[in-house]
Structure 1
Amino acid sequence: MILGIDMGASSSKWALFSGDETTASGVYSPLSGHLYTPEARERMAGGLADIRAAVPALPSAVVAGITGLQSDYAPLIVELLARTFELPQTALHVTDDLHLAYAAHFPAGGGTLVYAGTGSMAYHRTAAGEVIRAGGHGFLIDDAGGAFWQGRQGLKAALREADEGQGESLLASRLFGAIGSRLWPDIRAYVYGEGRAALARLAPVVYTAAVEGDAHAQAIQRRAGEELARLGAAVLERSRGRELALCGGSFNPLVAAAFHAQFAGRGVTFVPTAAPLRGALALAPSG
């Protein structure tokens, strides 16, 4: 039995596979490879222990894809996994979350994966293991098209309307309703108290407003698709590929449609989306 763990900025997910079938799965709080402090390392150890307690059977191998993985801390994570799941290190594989998602869609040397979760990135892995990527620079720099970006664009538009004394748009009404207040001190506490995850949670609200006909929300969805397509096109060009796969919760139907429109008539083949955790089946150590 193979256990896959996908540690992300918004949540951590796990699935236990028997052969090709998922026998159990679960969701845990966010975990990352940013283990710079003793507190962060304790949080990682505690998180793995909680996941172990939730997994109904001891796996024979564990594959962990970790957002923000730093190579300096990979040995520590391997050690924690070995201790937690009572496995030899030869039964463990630690990699970054994009490699896990890529392996769910392509073999090394395959196509290009465009991932849009809290952030955004396009990713290709050559047969020799070289990574060709675009984006993934973090929310302070870019991450255009991802959930944080969508939520931020929506809230920025709503607050500008309020600053200018305009009537409250449908988008603003939906966002303020999700936050629970129209008052700036409350909005400030929501955003700056919880960080990027708080804004990422607003992305589905922007999508709902777009479906309900708000023009500004629709424009945000279109631009998100265009920004993600730009990443995909950049990596396709550099890898000389023709296959694309889309993955991540920020690819709602409107964003995906805008993304596909950018590749119309360009001879690109789209590979069906797969759950990133299925990459564990391809990456699990054999024997």
Structure 2
Amino acid sequence: MAGFLGIDIGGTASRWVLVDATGTPLARGSAAGATGHLFNPAERERLATTLAAIAAALPQEPIHATCLGITGLGQSVHEEARQLVASSFKLQAGAIRLIDDMELAFRAAFAPGEGHLISAGTGSIGLHLDANGTMLRVGGRGLLIDDGGSGTWIALTALDQLYRRIDATGGPADAAILARELFAEMGGDHWDQTRAFVYGSDRGRIGTLAQAVARAATAGDPLATEVLERAADELARLAKALIGRAGRLPVAFVGGITTLHPLIKSGLTAALPETSVSFPQIDAASHAAQWARTTHQQEAPL
């Protein structure tokens, strides 16, 4: 039985779906995250390890073609990534489609030219793909520059504002609930523990602190509430940038931050009153599998 494999590789997790020649799902699963930053030897090893784990978990059906959306995949490393995929799944290069994970997510939500997509998870980025396949990106420059509204941004903004209060007053002041939640996640309330957590972690682990901010907001902490309201404004800014440059079209927000706290969705809809806003639950890996199947069937000789 022919199998067609779709893989959505993100920085913190990867998901895969295997379908047969009719498009019926055969299996699905998950693996560790990775990136397409193959210029970094450690990231190349992460991607190779993730691909090997997926290959080991697959049923025994032969794979005819695969489509992968990989976060951070630049054009300059496509050939190297293709070689890794070919080796992992015993495929010829022509049976492999590689795209950025954001393009994959966009195509799972919209046909080209029909909308704008904002992804808010560990990082944040906006994308429009026009009818000719030309991509317009906004944001997505990483935590050292921006990633406004993302999980990492929420965590670092909350810590920044909390420590400014501690500097000024010697304690958390009006952010006592937030302080309790954050320090519990980091293992203690001493600066050494915060420093070890933040500077000894990658952006994915730092981003998990956004959950603590959400809990504090639910408990009524004013600083946590303010940070989440600002996060919604930051994500709305990406949508407004796309609207300004590519026209007023429906906007879909995806990613874990959209469900982090009700303040996010309410803030986004309030910030975009003249825009059709949705929060779809897309299955990018499934879309990739179907794309691999249809492309293979279209290109197969009669």
TM-score scaled by length of structure 2:
0.88
Q: Do residues 274 (structure 1) and 292 (structure 2) align? A: no
What CA distance in whole angstroms lies between the structure 2 residues aligned with 1:267 and 1:37?
40
What CA distance in whole angstroms lies between the structure 2 residues aligned with 1:136 and 1:94?
19
CA contact (8 A) 1:114 1:228 kept: yes
1:27-46 correspondence to structure 2 within 5 Å:
27-46=30-49
Aligned to 1:112: 116
What CA distance in whole angstroms lies between the structure 2 residues aligned with 1:211 and 1:20?
42
Q: Do residues 249 (structure 1) and 256 (structure 2) align? A: yes
C-alpha change, 1:228 and 1:99, in structure 2 (3 Å) is: same
What do the CA deviations read for 1:107-141 (whole angstroms, capped 9, x no partner)? 12220001101111110101111111211111111
Aligned to 2:177: 170
The runs of at least 4 consecutive aligned structure 1 residues that moved more than 6 Å come to none
What do the CA deviations read for 1:229-250 (whole angstroms, capped 9, x no partner)? 1101111222114211111111
Aligned to 2:270: 261
C-alpha change, 1:22 and 1:183, in structure 2 (3 Å) is: farther
Aligned to 2:150: 146
Moved more, 94-103 or 167-176: 167-176
Aligned to 2:211: 204
C-alpha change, 1:120 and 1:271, in structure 2 (3 Å) is: closer
CA contact (8 A) 2:162 2:179 kept: yes
Match of 2:187 among 180, 190, 194: 180
What CA distance in whole angstroms lies between the structure 2 residues aligned with 1:22 and 1:257?
35
1:119-134 correspondence to structure 2 within 5 Å:
119-134=123-138
C-alpha change, 1:102 and 1:173, in structure 2 (3 Å) is: same
CA contact (8 A) 1:102 1:279 kept: no
Aligned to 1:75: 79
C-alpha change, 1:269 and 1:214, in structure 2 (3 Å) is: closer
What CA distance in whole angstroms lies between the structure 2 residues aligned with 1:185 and 1:144?
26
What CA distance in whole angstroms lies between the structure 1 residues aligned with 2:181 and 2:135?
40
Gaps of at least 5 residues in structure 1 are none
Secondary structure of the corresponding residue to residue 60 of structure 1 = strand
Secondary structure of the corresponding residue to residue 69 of structure 2 = strand
Q: Percent identity?
A: 36
Gaps of at least 5 residues in structure 2 are 298-302
Q: Displacement, 1:281?
A: 4.4
CA contact (8 A) 2:128 2:136 kept: yes
Q: Displacement, 1:46?
A: 2.5
Letter in 2 for 1:260: T
Q: What is the Cα-based RMSD across aligned positions, in Å?
A: 2.0
What CA distance in whole angstroms lies between the structure 1 residues aligned with 2:71 and 2:206?
18
Q: Displacement, 1:20?
A: 5.2
What do the CA deviations read for 1:19-64 (whole angstroms, capped 9, x no partner)? 5554433332221111114443333223211111012344332111
What CA distance in whole angstroms lies between the structure 1 residues aligned with 2:30 and 2:272?
34
Number of residue pairs aligned between Structure 1 and Structure 2:
286
